[in-house]
Amino acid sequence: MYKSLSERLSGIFDRLKGRGILSEEHVNTAMREIRIALLEADVALPVVKEFIEEAKAKAIGQELIKSINPAQMVIKIVNDQLVQALGGEPEPLNLNAPSPMVMLMVGLQGSGKTTSSAKLAKLINTRFRKNVLLASLDIYRPAAQLQLENLAKQMSIPSLPIVEGEKPQDITKRAIAAAKVQNIDVIILDTAGRLHIDDELMDEVKQIKAISNPIETFLVADSLTGQDAVNIAKNFHEIVGITGIILTRADGDARGGAALSMRHITGQPIKFLGMGEKVDQLEIFDPHRVASRILDMGDIVALVERAASLSDSEDQEKLAKKLEKGHFDLNDMAKQIEGMQKMGGLSSMLGFLPGIGKIKDKLEGAGVDDSLVRRQLAIIRSMTKLERRNPNVLNGSRRKRIANGSGVLVMDVNRLLKQFEQMQKMFKQMGKMGNKGFLRQGLNSMMRNR
Ligand SMILES: Nc1nc2c(ncn2[C@@H]2O[C@H](COP(=O)(O)OP(=O)(O)O)[C@@H](O)[C@H]2O)c(=O)[nH]1
Ligand SMILES: [Mg+2]
């Protein structure tokens, strides 16, 4: 089993402690792990090499955001680059041509062409409200034409009647003629597969392309294609010329590396992901989602983005200094809680912390939620300045006043003060170890005593 990138990097997070800008050392250390992550996600080696070089060039010398550690920053940069390399934004299906327009499906045998033809037909039919005709040009494999016909019947989408012994070129012409009289907008041509790149079959596809002048030529490829992805994509693009890629079996274990390899080599967009055997399991390809799957970083990237948008990173720095000296009062606690709220509340913060996802469900089950955070803030805000700075003065009658003021029970006030004491104790200890991870530990101590 591979270790996730977040697991591996958490070790590095601790070792890299630079301030100011990303140094070459930070970047090189983190990139070693990112390189492994890319290879484990099955990105082809030459693509990994180029990608890492580019990412390094971008990362070195970048200014650091306070409260984000260097490794997290590197991941953010790498993720952004990965999203770009995968196409940035989802690329729409091209439907800008007069009817009937042709979509040609090409690829290796078993890659999922026939299934994807049916899926695409359904998607175009339901989402774009266009009339679709399915036609199989696979005359080499027994039952291949029937396979498509059956799928078409299941979906109530027309398919071109099978004429035995007809050549693929002639089937293509017949499909176009039929489409014209039947008011068809889109013809999907499912071609014969090949076990490997085969001159004869490639020639045939070229001829069909010339006859049908397709608006889209899709390379259908299996996500599990590892290091071979580059060769397959390169060959099909050079010989046939493709306009997009459909990656099938994205519902399996593959982490999506083939997407990066194929996009990189052809420069053509991945447009769809096959997410299962059923005809409605076709998804529009989203570079953001696949990038996070490749990097396996949970929501670190989102955390970094939010932290970067917080304006009070200076406050955090001051607080850290105070803590190192062992001064921590209720004002500081309120600031911590407010910071958490700005980051999207307690429950969303928990989701961001790598490895805490599973605990999060349990915590939510135990009733730890954002209303707790709001209540804690209300209690602190009901205190006087003096009380916040010097909690020792909080006797019974003061506690009662605060409880009334914030609409809680005295018990709740007591609980908050107990948590405060624990945080204070913890921060004193941490003053000795530096402020690494104080946010996370702060969260833990606040929840433990509820
Ligand atoms: N799990 C899964 N299976 C798929 C997907 N696409 C195709 N398949 C399966 O892969 C096998 C080969 O698909 P097929 O469309 O016949 O491939 P072709 O030879 O390229 O036409 C069939 O058993 C399909 O059900 C997918 O996205 N996910
Ligand atoms: Mg087929």
Q: 182-191, pLDDT tens digit by residue?
A: 999 999 999 9
CA pair distance 284, 307, nearest whole angstrom: 30
Q: Ligand 1 pocket, 437 CB below 6 A?
A: no
Q: Cis peptide before 142, with omega less than 30 degrees from 0?
A: no
Cβ pair 12, 30 in contact under 8 A:
yes
Q: How far is the CA of 281 from the centre of ligand 2 (A)?
A: 17
| 248 CB within 6 A, ligand 1 | yes
Ligand 1 contact via 274 beta carbon (within 6 Å): yes
Q: Enumerate the β-bridge partners of residue 222.
A: 248
**Which residues, 6 or more positions from 389, have their beta carbon under 8 angstroms from its beta carbon?**
329, 330, 331
Radius of gyration of the chain (CA): 29
pTM of the prediction? 0.68
At residue 197, the pLDDT reads 72
d(CA 172, CA 8): 53
Distance 276 CA to ligand 1 centre (A): 8
Per-residue pLDDT, 106: 96
DSSP 138-183: --SSTTHHHHHHHHHHHHT--BPPP-TT--HHHHHHHHHHHHHHTT
Question: Given a cut of 60, is residue 337 above it in pLDDT?
Answer: yes
All structural domains of the chain, each given as residue ranges with its CATH number in brackets, are 5-89 (1.20.120.140), 101-251+264-284 (3.40.50.300), 310-448 (1.10.260.30)
In percent, the amount of the chain with pLDDT more than 90 equals 46
Lowest mean pLDDT among 21-35, 213-227, 233-247, 383-397: 21-35
| More confident: 436 or 162 | 162
Q: Write the residue with the smallest CA distance to atom 17 of ligand 1.
A: 112
CB 337 within 8 A of CB 370: no
Distance from Cα 222 to the centre of ligand 1, integer Å: 9
Asked if 63 contacts 21 with a C-beta cutoff of 8 angstroms, the reply is yes
How far is C-alpha 59 from the geometric centre of its chain's CA atoms?
20
What string of H, E and C letters represents the secondary structure of 337-398?
Answer: HHHHHHCCHHHHHHHHCCCCHHHHHHHHHCCCCHHHHHHHHHHHHCCCHHHHHCHHHCCHHH
> Does 109 sit in the ligand 1 pocket, CB within 6 Å?
yes
Which of 225, 204, 320 minimizes the C-alpha distance to 270?
225
Per-residue model confidence as pLDDT tens digits over 251-291: 887 778 899 999 999 999 999 999 999 999 999 998 988 88
In this structure, which residue's CA is closest to atom 1 in ligand 1? 276
172-176, 259-263, 372-376: segment of lowest average pLDDT: 372-376
Q: Which of 277, 279, 280, 282 to mutate to test the pocket of ligand 1 (most atoms within 8 A of CB)?
A: 277
136 lines ligand 1 (CB under 6 A): no
Interval between CA 244 and ligand 2 midpoint (Å): 18
The residue-averaged pLDDT of 358-368 equals: 46
Q: Tell me the CA–centroid distance for residue 350 and ligand 2, in Å.
A: 46
Top-confidence range, 20-29, 45-54, 343-352: 45-54
With bands split at pLDDT 50, 70 and 90, how would you rate the model's confidence at 358? very low
Q: Tell me the per-residue pLDDT of 206-225, one tens digit each, with 9 for 90 and over.
A: 999 999 999 999 999 999 88
Going by pLDDT thresholds of 50, 70 and 90, the confidence category of residue 115 is very high
Decide which of 257 and 172 is more confident: 172
Q: Which residue has the higher pLDDT, 375 or 19?
A: 375
411-425 b/e (C-beta count within 10 Å ≥ 16 → b): ebbebbbebbebbbe
Determine the Cα–Cα distance for residues 152 and 88; give it in Å rounded to an integer: 33
Q: Which residue has the higher pLDDT, 318 or 180?
A: 180
**E strand or H helix that includes residue 284:** strand 282-284
pLDDT value at residue 352: 44
| pLDDT above 60 (res 124) | yes
What per-residue confidence (pLDDT) applies to 374? 80
In degrees and rounded to multiples of 5, residue 244 shows phi and psi of -175, 170
- pLDDT score at 345: 53
Ligand nearest to the backbone CA of 278: 1
β-strand pairing of 216-222 with 186-190: unpaired
3-state DSSP call for residue 292? helix
Q: Give the pLDDT confidence score for residue 372 in this predicted structure.
A: 75
Q: Which ligand is nearest to the CA of 143?
A: 2
Mean pLDDT on 195-201: 80
Atom of ligand 1 nearest to the CA of 252: 1
Q: Is the CB of 261 under 6 A from ligand 1?
A: no
- φ, ψ at 186 (rounded to 5°): -130, 125
The pLDDT value given to residue 7: 56
DSSP string covering 39-61: HHTT--HHHHHHHHHHHHHHHTT
Strands, sheet with 132-136, edge to edge from the N-terminal-most edge strand: 132-136, 186-190, 101-106, 216-222, 244-248, 270-274, 282-284
Q: Check if 193 has its Cβ closer than 6 Å to any atom of ligand 1.
A: yes
Number of H helices, E strands in the chain: 21, 7
Report whether residue 111 contacts ligand 1, using a CB cutoff of 6 Å. Answer: yes
How far apart CA 300 and CA 6 sit, in angstroms, is 9
Closest-lying ligand 1 atom to the alpha carbon of residue 117? 15
Residue 322 pLDDT exceeds 70: no
- Is the Cβ atom of 361 under 6 angstroms away from ligand 1? no
* First CA to last CA distance, the chain: 37
381 vs 319, more confident: 381
* Whole-number Å distance between alpha carbons of 175 and 389: 81
pLDDT at residue 155 tops 80? yes
Does residue 361 have a pLDDT over 60?
A: no
Q: Whose CA is nearest to atom 10 of ligand 1?
A: 112
Pick the ligand that lies closest to the CA of residue 149.
2
Distance CA 57, CA 126 (A): 45
> Is the CB of 113 inside a 6 Å radius of any atom of ligand 1?
yes
